[in-house]
Amino acid sequence: SIIVFGSLNMDLVVRSPRLLQSGETLIGSDFYMTPGGKGANQAVAAAKLGVLTEMIGRVGTDLFGLELLAELKAVGVGTDGVLVDATHSGVAMITVAATGENQIIGVFGANGNVDETDVERLRTKLLDTQLLLLQLEIPIAAVKQAAQIAHGLGVQVILDPAPVPTEAIAPLYPFIDILMPNEIEAGQLVGFPVTSPDTAAIAAGVLQQQGAKTVIVKLGAQGVFCATPDETFFVPAFPVAAIDTVAAGDAFAGGLTAALVEGASLRQAVVWGAAAGALATTKKGAQAAMPDRPTFNAFLTA
Ligand code: ADP
């Protein structure tokens, strides 16, 4: 089984003729709410692939909190480690203009209160888990404590370093088995643009010099570059007709962890991650776009 220690958010999306100017009111054309947060997305991605998955984090006492928990339960993610905190749930207010441009304001809400008490809840559950999946949408101090405890217990720790914080994250590397940035995050971590397998290889080398062990750089429609302490390899993306790349990286995390939990090699796990990421781009949305196991198996054997 795996544990995801991270964020849950409700995304509130409006369609607008154009982006707003200061003081302006516009009439939009559509509104929808969709559950998100990298933590919850990755938990859903893993659970839909059949991995026994638990979520640890916080939602607020509002209706969004209830809905976020219900969405996780609906795909079988264990939620008794999610605390309902006396504040509002994490939200992202998203405006999508007719031109396709967007503006997003995220507010952490309950996610921002995750602290050592959540890490204590995590500790008891780590005893019978194989893998801990982390991102950076909750306070970094809690992420570090979680990684440290899990590492000490011999649990495999994977960090998706998104969003990259202003403070250095290298102090986390000793407790992380796999560091998994996309190209933008890799670029922010190393301070030069990462846009290709070649630049990803250089970036992975820099991150390993800073103490990272295995580094996986997700390169969107190009594929995935991977550097372990022993070897490097590249897995090309699966050719698909992508319509919405939202949460492809979260789907990748689900595919990767599913393979690792089932005992596959890292190379096989990266292939599974790439397959889940590709499938997620063929559907709209985040959690709704995560492939289920039959779809995933059919895609891999096609
Ligand atoms: P993130 O969502 O974190 O930015 P990416 O966009 O790199 O991550 O997507 C994660 C993985 O999903 C990629 O490494 C790739 O394997 C797969 N993927 C993403 N976009 C596409 C695409 N257009 N076609 C095929 N596979 C894709």
pLDDT band at residue 101, thresholds of 50, 70 and 90? confident
Alpha carbon of residue 261 to chain centroid:
17
**Mean pLDDT, the chain, integer:** 97
Q: How many whole angstroms from 252 Cα to the centroid of ligand 1?
A: 8
178-219 pLDDT, tens digit each: 999 999 999 999 999 999 999 999 999 999 999 999 999 999
Q: Given the CA of residue 246, which atom of ligand 1 is nearest to it? A: 2
Q: CA–CA distance from 33 to each of 36, 62, 63, 65, 279 (Å)?
A: 10, 14, 12, 13, 22
pLDDT at 300: 96
Instruction: Please give the CATH superfamily to which domain 2-9+37-90+108-301 belongs.
Output: Ribokinase (3.40.1190.20)
257: closest CA among 153, 156, 146, 145? Answer: 156
What residue ranges do the domains of the chain occupy?
2-9+37-90+108-301
Partners of 156 in the β-ladder: 131
Partners of 178 in the β-ladder: 158, 214
Indicate which residue's Cα is closest to atom 2 of ligand 1.
249
274 lines ligand 1 (CB under 6 A): yes
